[in-house]
Amino acid sequence: MNYGNFGGQYVPQELKKELEKIEKEFNKAIQSEEFNNKYMYYLKQYVGRPNPLYYAENFTNYCGGAKIYLKREDLNHTGAHKINNAIGQILLAKQMGKTHIIAETGAGQHGLATATVCSLFKMKCTIFMGKVDIEKQKINVDKMKLLGADVISVTKGQGVLADAVDEAFEYLLKHKDVFYLIGSAVGPSPYPEMVKYFQSIIGKEAKKQILEQENKLPKAIIACVGGGSNSIGLFSEFINEKDIDIYGVEGAGKGLGTGRHASAMYEKNIGILHGMKTYIMQDENKNVKEAYSISSGLDYPGIGPEHAYLGETHRVIYDSITDEEAIEAFKILTKEEGIIPALESSHAIAYCIKIAKKYNKSDSIIVNLSGRGDKDIQTILKLQSK
């Protein structure tokens, strides 16, 4: 599928056949009541959905503007939104007769979600993770190993998320019998549309919940963007509501001017990465540049193709938040609400602090709290002891 000028399937011929099979199976699955019932069963009974849309009163008072609601993806089993997609894709893989799942992971949340569903559905599990991220997100690595996954340390390149995706694709080319369970709304078609479908539960629930609580739609919605799965999941239900401002927040790392950041939307170079055409960070010679963000889940030099399209058409405003601002927001939400957010989600929280005052007190804003911050506590404590 193409999103305007973006998307597509830029992969070697031998992978195209496999992608065709997945697309066929996916299209069949989403028409099937039995498949959708099974998917919803696991979301309810295993993941714990629907999760709350929580009115954060203390945080609202802190920000001094619109009423702020948090979509609590952090309360899902395994602690983030990634499990929604992992359940959907593994059901598909099972339907295709696959027995071995591979996945990439940055923050470890997608790796953890994948290892978890592999235990549940009795599949072999191999996780590719950059060496640097393995050190940063130790708790998640330990959990994946306990669940029985093989965690492969990727030392190529910078040893981060993009390198883990490269390695997973290389493995897939050599072992076409495996199912690659991609964790974000990236990669060749049909992955971006599949991940969006399985994450759109976030937007569906949030819309119903805000109407129940406020009797009207929000004025703005905000989500952080790595590859773009929690954000596209939330945005999907609101994109056609013209009066709602939609914000996607990337990692500005040390600052956009320093070159040490992870904002593909700031660089706005069109290129090919991981089988898709999208905005990517690349140099004059079209080499992919190293992305950097304190949060491993945002540390990606590209962005999902639908986001590129939504940015180009100005339906969504893409902006970014620095490491320093995210750390501050992490501390503020923890103190104000007793909720410890993931560093990725802290980028959306920080952006909310910046813009809440622009809106009336009778308006509301939904922020997607994509994950919990247990995995980031050591990073924060280390910074505090410096």
Ligand X SMILES: Cc1ncc(COP(=O)(O)O)c(C=O)c1O
- The residues carrying an active-site annotation are 82, 104, 370
List 227, 301, 302, 311, residue binding ligand X (CB under 6 A): 227
Which strands, in side-by-side order, build the sheet including 276-280?
2-3, 6-7, 276-280, 269-273
Task: Provide, rounded to whole angstroms, the least separation between the CB of residue 229 and ligand X.
Answer: 3
Judged by beta carbon, residue 73 or residue 359, the one nearer ligand X is 73
Q: Return d(Cα 179, Cα 93) in angstroms, integer.
A: 6
* Minimum CB–partner distance for residue 185 and ligand X (Å): 6
- Please list every residue from 14 through 73 that binds ligand X, using CB under 6 A: none
Nearer to ligand X, 48 or 64 (CB): 48
Task: Decide whether 109 or 359 has the Cβ nearer to ligand X.
Answer: 109
If binding is defined by CB under 6 A, does position 130 make contact with ligand X?
no
User: Least distance in Å: CB of 107 to ligand X?
Assistant: 4
Over the window 84 to 113, marking each residue x when it contacts ligand X by CB under 6 A and - when it does not, the resulting string is ----------------------xx-xx---
Kindly report the length of the chain: 386
Q: Determine the Cα–Cα distance for residues 252 and 298; give it in Å rounded to an integer.
A: 10
| Interface with ligand X, residue 344, by CB under 6 A | yes
- Regarding 203 and contact with ligand X (CB under 6 A), the answer is no
151 contacts ligand X (rule: CB under 6 A):
no
Cβ proximity of 192 and 185 under 8 Å: yes
b/e per residue, 201-228, with b = 16+ CB within 10 A? bbbebbbebbeeebeebbbbbbbbbbbb
Contact call for residue 346 and ligand X (CB under 6 A) = no
CA 178 distance to own-chain centroid: 23
345 binds ligand X (CB under 6 A): yes
Are the C-beta atoms of residues 316 and 340 closer than 8 Å to each other? no
Is 188 among the residues that bind ligand X (CB under 6 A)?
no
**CB count, 10 Å around CB of 63?**
22
CA distance 231 to 2: 19
Does position 229 interact with ligand X (CB under 6 A)? The reply is: yes
Q: Which is nearer to ligand X, 67 or 262 (CB)?
A: 262
**Do 38 and 328 touch, CB atoms closer than 8 A?**
no
Contact call for residue 80 and ligand X (CB under 6 A): yes
**By CB under 6 A, how many residues form the interface with ligand X?**
21
Counting contacts by CB under 6 A, is residue 280 touching ligand X?
no
The residues pairing with 152 across neighbouring beta strands, listed in sequence order, are: 128
Q: Which of 187, 251, 275, 297 binds ligand X (CB under 6 A)?
A: 297
Binding test (CB under 6 A) with ligand X, winner from 88, 130, 187, 226 = 226
Contact flag: residue 370 with ligand X (CB under 6 A) = yes
Alpha-carbon span 46 to 87, nearest angstrom: 10
Pick from 137, 184, 263, 282: which binds ligand X (CB under 6 A)?
Answer: 184
Per CB under 6 A, does 228 bind ligand X?
Answer: yes
78 binds ligand X (CB under 6 A): no
Angle between helices 13-31 and 33-42 (to 10 degrees): 90
DSSP states along 309-377: HHHHTTSSEEEEEEHHHHHHHHHHHHHHHS--B-HHHHHHHHHHHHHGGGS-TTSEEEEEE-BBSGGGH
Smallest distance from ligand X to CB 330, Å: 12
* Backbone φ, ψ for residue 340 (5° rounding): -95, 110
User: Residues interacting with ligand X, by CB under 6 A?
Assistant: 80, 106-107, 109-110, 184, 224-231, 297-298, 342, 344-345, 370-371
